[in-house]
Structure 1
Amino acid sequence: MAARDLAALAALFADETRAAFLLALLDGRAWTAGELARHARVAPSTASEHLGKLVAGGVLAEERQGRHRHVRLADPGVAHLVEDLAARAEPAVPEPPRTLRAASAGRAMARGRTCYDHLAGRLGIAITEAMTVRGLLRQDTGFALTDRGVDWFAEFGIPLEAKGRRPVARGCLDLTERRPHLAGIAGAALCRHALESGWCVRIGSGRAVKVTPAGEDALHRALGIAPAIIR
């Protein structure tokens, strides 16, 4: 990549409105321009201008359904970059929440959330550490599933479907825990299984998730995770 190309990519992130859009899209959903405009508290015309730049730069992918235009992050690599930048930009002493609602939402996000298509927060870290301790995942030479780890996924009927050049396992720096959690194909497959099997449920329409009683039991049996850690 030429220096000019890198500078152009960096410029796409160097705007507060566009940054707000990218952070919102970490929930993995496709949003309309109007939804993003309301989220960032900008005029629809302003949102459209910024979204046009992000789509043209390859950061967002555009989908059209009739008269409606939806956008989502272009690929998992973009999501990983956004989350990593957000984690590195987080101040050492975060600004305290201004309302009780904001404090409650912040606690929920820190407890467990989706990071694009994999699990993050204390939940994601607990799963990653439990898999490492049990010899299912290696972190000493970068993130990699062991043979036992591959067998573990097969035992639970969780397919590890290769998609393009995406790695099976990779570390993603956690925004709130400041430690890596499991991403990649394995992280996405585990998150999908957790939601589809009822181990976890989403809280409202955002990224926060919570573990159900059935999920607490399943994670304790499968990985030895104490329920108190993920509550």
Structure 2
Amino acid sequence: MPYTKSRARKAFDIEVDELIKVIREAHSRKCNLPNVRSHVLCSAVMLCSAKVEVYLEDVISDWINLINASGIRTDQLPRNFRAYYLNNSSTVSLYKSFFASNDEVDFLKKLSNTLGQDFRQVAIDGVNVPVLQTRYIYADKKYPSPDNMKHLFNRLGISDIFSQLNKSARTDLKAVLVSFNDIRTSVAHQGVPVGLTAKDIGLRLKDVKRVVSHIDKILYFHVVKHTGAICWRTT
């Protein structure tokens, strides 16, 4: 089945293209105010980074919402995906409390109270997937640093995301992402790095579009493999 862009990627592309357009307009003859031009470049970098977060949130939420609506069986989900939902925050808290107190009686009592809860069904093969909370899997890993990306996609069942991205793009997309994040950090603290032009920033935004395009392709084939094209939202 040929790749189809996700709804989230379509929205991301439109928004980043608009940022690139604004950069061009701010650096045209229509505008000759250096401060305005500098602010436009800073805003474009920060907004592009934020829009990557929104893309990740939207594309993953769309997948999970369609899983919730489609009667998918638990054994269709990636095993890491299931394991992460099984190990939810309340369960982690119980274990942390037990390790601190060593009170097995209290621990087993509280753990036993969770046995009938819906989220436990993700551990059972062949049953309908319980309703999954979308934010749980990405809430603490949305910022697109390489480390966050590695953990987030591993939760989704995609191991070593950067190896797959680099293979798909035939270039080092991890280095591309690190370079953009370095600029974003500099902009957040000091403004646009010395020597970077409007053209440079525009090219970096296009680089980020390329990273997202390959993420989208990898996610598409991953989603279709496990839960079918019915769980890939395009509109």
User: If the length of structure 2 is used for normalisation, what is the TM-score?
Assistant: 0.30
Q: Which has the higher helix share?
A: 2
> Which structure has the highest strand share of the two?
1
